[in-house]
Structure 1
């Protein structure tokens, strides 16, 4: 079975696509959501094969959600279902498996299902040797440290000691409870090295370790700032990322 969820802020669009997908015996509708934040919370807890995703949604649009999904340990395939054709190039840059225009037809949806089936079969075949190699050679402890330079020496920082990472125009810093290290990595480089279940890109200039947050401070324009135990610095949560942050921190 192909486990599918549908995400679209318009309920009629969700209902229509769910109805069409139910015509395929090999498809299991695992969930349908009008709130992308709720969809993300569901996907983090439940393994799904495919996400049918609208692009134009308020607060968390389809591309923002897709960027989070593709960083998961077992990312689902993404099909963008949208009324707009101008985002196709950007969609495939995110490695979407398909891009379909509303209103969907049965013939076009069949092509998408066939493409999904083929891709899932290929994915299992491609991942088998990689999975075997990792099981025999990977040392989990090897990835618990980040190497950084300080005073002409390389220090290995335990990732669980990191409070936050930040950048300005001239440098990128990794802040722990005891020290502040300067690294040649960009914030994007660090984001790729840090587990997205533990760390969150809360702002274009900050990555925070969610478990290290000790205080959440309401800020202007319905945003927040956070503080960490033993650290005086406040870190802002951008307005763009506020809703996702609230979901991750279980803030109602």
Structure 2
């Protein structure tokens, strides 16, 4: 087994799901599944015996559940990366409070698993390059919440000139018809630039595309609460406007705010 391989252990009491995930993982280059467990207790022993880089585990398992198992894993093996798999999105916030690298919702999807593996490989490479057993996880896409100089200002065209916006002042960016409106401490700014292009010019460690029509500044968010079957409502500190977050974006948001 190559030292560069990403060694993974799986824990899930549902044997068909466990086997499916194992088969999916083995289709990716540079990935080795080195063991499977059916509960948290067996998982702890397996991690001790095999020394994996990452653990993919279900939250709800008999005996020692996934969340409890991770509490113990982080004390005994703090360098192991954690990926939760579950059918219950409501556990996302608690899972990310445990510094999980990712949170996969069943039914499992190969493309989504691929993104998780890319993230794990980057983290392993960073750890190896740093020569440390454990380092804090960077934010989504490998970024951190430290804002580089090119992300501190956002310029938009206004006639034959430009307006310079301090990105710290932005609450959110909203798509309205064919234009976008930038909500800031100092007022509203309108631009004809597409939302997808504005997203590329904002710090990915601080700005999050929570909906097809909204990009939010996570540093200005006060609450994210469910208000419909497949949606959440986002409120901001000291700003009355509210935006919508799609349910499937909530897990990624929870991960982002922990970084």
Q: TM (normalized to structure 2)? A: 0.52
Q: Give how far 1:5 is off.
A: 6.3
Unaligned runs of 5+ in 2: 36-50, 58-83, 86-91, 123-147
| Partners of 1:68 and 1:163 in 2: CA distance | 29
Q: Give how far 1:235 is off.
A: 0.6
Counterpart in 1 of 2:56? Answer: 33
Counterpart in 1 of 2:245? Answer: 237
> Can you list the C-alpha shifts for 1:102-161, whole angstroms capped at 9, x where unaligned?
xxxxxxxxxxxxxxxxxxxxxxxxxxxxxxxxxxxxxx4243111013465311111111
8 Å contact from structure 2 (residues 205, 256) kept in 1: no
Q: Give how far 1:206 is off.
A: 0.4
Matched, 1:172 2:183: no
| Partners of 2:183 and 2:114 in 1: CA distance | 28
Q: Give how far 1:163 is off.
A: 0.6
| Partners of 1:217 and 1:196 in 2: CA distance | 22
| Partners of 1:141 and 1:209 in 2: CA distance | 17
Unaligned runs of 5+ in 1: 45-53, 79-139
Q: Give how far 1:181 is off.
A: 1.1
Q: Give how far 1:7 is off.
A: 9.7
Output aligned runs, 1:72-91, within 5 Å.
Answer: none
Matched, 1:153 2:161: yes
Q: TM (normalized to structure 1)? A: 0.53
| Partners of 2:6 and 2:221 in 1: CA distance | 34
Output aligned runs, 1:38-49, within 5 Å.
Answer: 42-43=100-101
SS of 2:197's equivalent in the other structure is: helix
8 Å contact from structure 1 (residues 3, 30) kept in 2: no
Matched, 1:183 2:221: no
2:222 pairs with 208, 214, 219, which one? 214
Aligned residues: 175
| Partners of 2:107 and 2:185 in 1: CA distance | 33
